[in-house]
């Protein structure tokens, strides 16, 4: 597996958790639009994580065969 992708996935996961935590503890009265920005960032992070997971899954299927990659599903 591509080490760069797995490292990127780890960093994105940490950033996603931090952003979700910021949303959770964000005050409900938001006149600045910061909450919307945080929520949009969460969606972007999730999309990027899913893209990397798809790439890693494809690499695993190509390298180890379809049976070894079933854990991704």
pLDDT reported for residue 54: 94
Full-model pTM = 0.76
Residue with more model confidence, 43 or 68: 43
> Based on the structure, what is the number of domains in the chain?
1
Domain limits at 46? 3-24+33-72
Measuring CA to CA, how many Å separate 20 from each of 10, 11, 16, 51, 56? 15, 14, 6, 19, 24
Beta-carbon contacts of residue 4 (< 8 Å; ≥ 6 apart): none
Residue with more model confidence, 63 or 8: 8
Q: What pLDDT digit, counting tens, does each position of 15-67 carry?
A: 999 999 998 887 777 778 888 899 999 999 999 999 999 998 888 888 877 55
pLDDT reported for residue 30: 74
């Amino acid at each position: 597996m591509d080490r760069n992708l797995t490292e990127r996935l780890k960093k994105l996961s940490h950033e996603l958790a931090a952003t979700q935590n910021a949303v959770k503890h964000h005050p409900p009265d938001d006149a600045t639009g910061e909450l919307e920005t945080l929520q949009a960032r969460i969606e972007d992070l999730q999309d990027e994580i899913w893209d990397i997971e798809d790439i890693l899954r494809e690499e695993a299927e190509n390298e180890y065969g379809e049976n070894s990659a079933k854990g991704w599903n």
